[in-house]
Amino acid sequence: MLDVHRLRLLRELDRRGTLAAVAKALNYSPSAISQQLSLLETETGATLLEHVGRGVRLTPQARILVRHADAILERLELAEAELATSMTEVTGTIRVASFQSVLLALVPGALSGLVAAHPGLRIRVTQLEAGPAFAGLLAHEFDVVLGEEYPGLAQPRNPGVDEEDLVHDEIRMAVPVDGPWHQGDLAELNGAPFVFDPGDIEPGQWARTQCRSAGFEPDVRFVSGDLLLQVRLVETGHAVAFLPDLLWTDRAHGRVELHPLPGRPRRRLFTAVRSGSAEQPAIRAFRKALQDQVRG
């Protein structure tokens, strides 16, 4: 009988590439990981790792096991979900990864609702961008990921991941109340100072593309993924930004004027969980709490 824990370690090695990376992620020593994988080789009677320089590489036999490990772990999560559904009280711990605007607008209210409805449920939240968050979901570091998808930048669906839409959130042009940039037309902001997310992540790429489509290269004076900083720079007259409506859920936009962008673009916000855990009562409760916040 193959040991499921050792199969998971092999799967993590396939995902992360090195014994050191697996050890760091799972709080083991590299030697302990190596010892467990050696035991797995004994169980299977097959060579699973080849030494390449100072590292290791999975053999074809190891990759066969990795494919089956994915299915085995998904079935175990399905079993846990079915067992949990048979119980009346929603308990346990959910590990959530989310980006900033959802954390600001939806998560606090959802947590308040969960505390009242399910006092035995514990939620741990980490602010994280989409790439590392989805990697952590597949590696079982997180149970729920809050994702976003910008118009024209649809990402391929991850196999083994269940997605559920939250809201389609309009993005508007935000300009200071005081200053020379009151135009409601994006093309007229050529030469204005902008604050955008970094250009190597989806929101930053999308924002720059909007300006280029309007016929100019944006003057990006400030680069930050912190939306509260972006708001502050607009309020104080130092920059123009593209900000999502969700950001104004619980705040007035006082010293910020909002204008529609061409085509009234909307980003898609969604929750993602591993397919095997989608029916876990705790995860269903968390998703419902977020939906309740969206509906107001």
We report the CATH number of the domain holding residue 79 as 1.10.10.10
The answer on 128 and 231 residing in a single domain is yes
State which of 84, 112, 144 marks the end of a domain. 84
pLDDT tier for residue 88 given thresholds of 50, 70 and 90: low
- Count up the domains in the chain and report the number: 2
The answer on 238 and 138 residing in a single domain is yes
Q: What percent of the chain has pLDDT over 70?
A: 97
Handedness of CA 225, 228, 231, 235 (dihedral sign): negative
- Residue 86 has what pLDDT? 67
- Residue 227 has what pLDDT? 92
The answer on 94 and 80 residing in a single domain is no
The answer on 76 and 105 residing in a single domain is no
Whether the CB-CB separation of 59 and 48 falls below 8 Å is answered with: yes
Strands 266-274, 49-52: pairing is unpaired
- State yes or no: pLDDT of 267 exceeds 90: yes
- State yes or no: pLDDT of 228 exceeds 70: yes
For residue 289, what is the domain's CATH number? Answer: 3.40.190.290
> What is the residue range of 76's domain?
4-84
The answer on 233 and 213 residing in a single domain is yes
- Residue 78 has what pLDDT? 81
- State yes or no: pLDDT of 229 exceeds 90: yes
The answer on 215 and 124 residing in a single domain is yes
The answer on 102 and 74 residing in a single domain is no
The answer on 122 and 236 residing in a single domain is yes
- State yes or no: pLDDT of 64 exceeds 80: yes
pLDDT tier for residue 168 given thresholds of 50, 70 and 90: very high
**pTM higher than the cut 0.75:** no
Nearest to 136, CA basis, from 17, 54, 46, 16: 16
The answer on 269 and 194 residing in a single domain is yes
The answer on 29 and 163 residing in a single domain is no
The answer on 267 and 220 residing in a single domain is yes
The answer on 102 and 41 residing in a single domain is no
| 109-116: average pLDDT | 93
Tens-place pLDDT, residues 67-77: 888 888 888 88
Tens-place pLDDT, residues 197-225: 999 889 999 999 999 999 999 999 999 99
State which of 65, 84, 103 marks the end of a domain. 84
State which of 84, 109, 134 marks the end of a domain. 84
